[in-house]
Amino acid sequence: MQRVTSAKVTVGDRTTGEIGQGLLVFVGVDRADGPPDVQYIASKVRDLRIFMDEDQKMNRSVLDIKGEILVVSQFTLSGDARNGRRPSFASAALPQIARALYEDVVRELQASGLRVATGEFQAMMQVALTNDGPVTILLDSRKTF
């Protein structure tokens, strides 16, 4: 997840999602993921206080600042590059399962009243962003790092 002043996803010459100030969230779904993982990730994205308050302290959430969220599916987050020189994606969820959980994350965020834009599942996408800070936060519902 990256705090951004703007972000945009295109597929070919078509823009699929674009936001102003808020969060760019890359979502990777592993084989072991399910509804509790969706809830964990959506609540962290929505409630994590990583935006500045009037004292320049990270004390506001995307909800507090009425920011926007761009959610992009990215199966390569499941890549394991510990052995050899080519990553293994064996832990990535099958596409039909990953799509459902990805869409559940989007719905959970939208239910909070946030404006949520998306990329296009399983498409080759170009992502352009202006990282604010830069601030990049790793979230893992399994807390493996």
User: Over the stretch 22-75, which tens digit does the pLDDT of each residue have?
Assistant: 999 999 999 999 999 999 999 999 999 999 999 999 999 999 999 999 999 999
Using one digit for the tens of pLDDT, what is the confidence trace for 81-103?
999 999 999 999 999 999 999 99
The pLDDT of residue 143 is 82
Residues 11/58, Cβ–Cβ less than 8 Å: no
pLDDT at 142: 87
Catalytic annotation, pick one of 2, 51, 75, 118 = 75
CATH architecture for the domain at 2-136: 3-Layer(bba) Sandwich (3.50)
39 tagged catalytic:
no
Domain ranges of the chain: 2-136
Neighbour count for residue 129 (Cβ, 10 Å):
18
The CB-based long-range contact list for 99-102 (8 Å cut-off, 24+ gap) reads 99/73, 101/29, 101/33, 101/34, 101/35, 101/37, 101/38, 102/27, 102/29, 102/71, 102/73
State pLDDT tens for residues 108-117.
999 999 999 9
pLDDT the model gives residue 99: 97
Local structure of residue 82 (DSSP, 8 states): S
Q: pTM of the predicted model, to two decimals?
A: 0.95
User: 123 pLDDT exceeds 80?
Assistant: yes
pLDDT in the model for residue 145: 63
Judged by phi (left if over 0) then psi (alpha if -120 to 50, else beta), residue 22 lies in: left
Nearest one of 123, 117, 16 to 71, comparing CA atoms: 117
Q: Is 26 a catalytic residue?
A: no
Average pLDDT of span 9-17: 97
H or E segment at 115? strand 115-118
Q: Which of 76, 122, 126, 130 is catalytic?
A: 76
- Give the active site residue among 10, 39, 74, 110: 74
Is 74 annotated in the active site? yes
- 24, 59, 58: which is closest to 139 by C-alpha? 24
